[in-house]
Amino acid sequence: MPIRLLAALPLATMLTSPLLAAPGSADWEAVLEEARGQTVYWHAWAGDTRINDYIDWVKRRLREKHEVELVHVKIDDTGSAVSRVLGERSAGNHDDGSIDLIWLNGENFAAMKENDLLFGPFAERLPNFALTYPELNPEVITDFTLPTEGYESPWGKAQITFYYDAAELVDEPPLSMAEILAWTEAHPGRFTYPRIPDFLGSTFLKQALIALTEDTDALYSPVAQSDFEAVTAPLWEYLDVLHPRLWRSGRQFPASGPEIRRLMADGELTLAFTFNPAEPAAAVAEFLLPESTRSYVLDGGTLGNVHFVAIPFNSPHKAGAMTVANFLLTPEAQARKQDLSVWGDPTVLDVARLDEEDRARFEQTTDNPALLAPEALVDTLPEPHPSWMTALQEAWQVRYVGR
């Protein structure tokens, strides 16, 4: 029976059958009671020590507040977690899965939704979800053009942000994809992007495609409905010219965003980018990047999205997983996550509508010259349909791996 047809069943039934939907907020105390003593296995990307340290703090708070044990299962590819849930379903494991919570969005959410691998709907029934004011902030209920329908809960935001060393780059930085191409000709080896299928590298491909293609409308429908070769031809022409001008002449690519940041710190790069607008400022504050670091976004805006957590259909600890998801939406947890000294990941809460005490949690210093003002991030480009990311990754691998 498809998961999405079971939303109206009561709490008692939900807690005894892993395929059934979540309770309403009136039953939240029963959820907390059920969660007490559970161990929740959270599969989450572990490629950054700041993120891992933040999750360690979440572990401690959940143990103190709710007697829930959180285990961070550290992964480098969210797709591997999705494949595990799919494998368990194929093997008939419908109520004793190995994963209780997944950090995901985009093509991984689309794959789980398409294959009925998600528990829910549950997100709108978390008490703290109301603090996102989804009726005013539709990005918290939309994932790469797909409505989330309550099958995942938001917990952070991201937007491509470029940064550079102003001590090395005395001229104005490049403000468009065309200018980046020209800049790399004048500064060979001083820019690069992560190796595909890294999510940051894949996002760079999408940013470039949006800027270069004449058919941007096609990007917001499934890729199968378009002429992929025609839509993407300008992207490959661009990359063919760009690659020889990149770090190590494009023969080698960094593995991730953190590796790009290390290359900036070592002086091997002058221009870089991240998917966390606060990362350059946070790195300056921790003396990981020079004080001369500055941030900016491209003219016309950059890609941005919301990242989420979701519960697999066969999680044996659904109440515990819901408790974790709800805690991640508390002003306490969201403000700590946004703190530059902790992670710097932007909040999904509508801070202006919080009470005075909670709004005060989000106040932060503005004297860091690498930190962008909030108004600099208003031009956020929406993510293409998730099928485009998968198609671009596959085409990139065919075209460039082995060169």
The token pair at 109 is: 């959410």
Say which DSSP state 118 is in.
B
The token pair at 377 is: 């991030």
SS3 category, 294: strand
Predicted confidence band at 387 (pLDDT cuts at 50, 70, 90)? very high
Residues 347 and 156: beta-carbon distance below 8 Å: yes
What whole-number distance in Å separates Cα of residue 260 and Cα of residue 334?
A: 26
Rg (C-alpha) for the chain, rounded Å, is 21
Phi-psi region of 44 (alpha: psi -120 to 50; beta: other; left: phi over 0): beta
- pLDDT, greater one: 356 or 365: 356
pLDDT over 60 (residue 308): yes
SS3 category, 157: strand
Parallel/antiparallel/unpaired status of strands 302-310 and 380-381: parallel
Contacts of 206 (CB under 8 A, 6+ apart): 219, 303, 383, 384, 388, 389, 392
What whole-number distance in Å separates Cα of residue 205 and Cα of residue 391?
A: 11
Strand partners, 44: 74
Predicted confidence band at 169 (pLDDT cuts at 50, 70, 90)? confident
Q: Which of 73-77, 98-102, 149-153, 375-379 is least confident?
A: 375-379
SS3 category, 121: coil
What whole-number distance in Å separates Cα of residue 377 and Cα of residue 234?
A: 27
Residues 392 and 315: beta-carbon distance below 8 Å: no
pLDDT, tens digit, 9 for 90 and up, residues 246-303: 999 999 999 999 999 999 999 999 999 999 999 999 899 889 999 999 999 999 999 9
**Averaged pLDDT of the chain:** 91
| 109 closest CA partner among 99, 118, 100 | 118
Q: What pLDDT is stored for residue 26 in this prediction?
A: 57
The token pair at 18 is: 């892993």
Half-sphere exposure at residue 369, Cβ-oriented, CA atoms within 13 angstroms: 9
Q: What pLDDT is stored for residue 14 in this prediction?
A: 43
Predicted confidence band at 305 (pLDDT cuts at 50, 70, 90)? very high
- Compute CA 95 distance to the chain's CA centroid, rounded to the nearest angstrom: 28
| Residue 128: C-alpha distances to residues 330, 355, 361 (Å) | 6, 13, 16
What whole-number distance in Å separates Cα of residue 106 and Cα of residue 235?
A: 21
Percent of the chain's residues with pLDDT above 70 = 93
pLDDT over 90 (residue 398): yes
Q: What pLDDT is stored for residue 366 in this prediction?
A: 66
Peptide bond into 290 cis (omega under 30): no
Q: In terms of C-beta density within 10 A (0-12 exposed, 13-18 middle, 19 or more buried), how is residue 30 classed?
A: middle
Predicted confidence band at 21 (pLDDT cuts at 50, 70, 90)? very low
- The domains of the chain, with CATH numbers, are 3-155+307-364 (3.40.190.10), 159-304+378-400 (3.40.190.10)
| 323 closest CA partner among 344, 309, 306 | 309
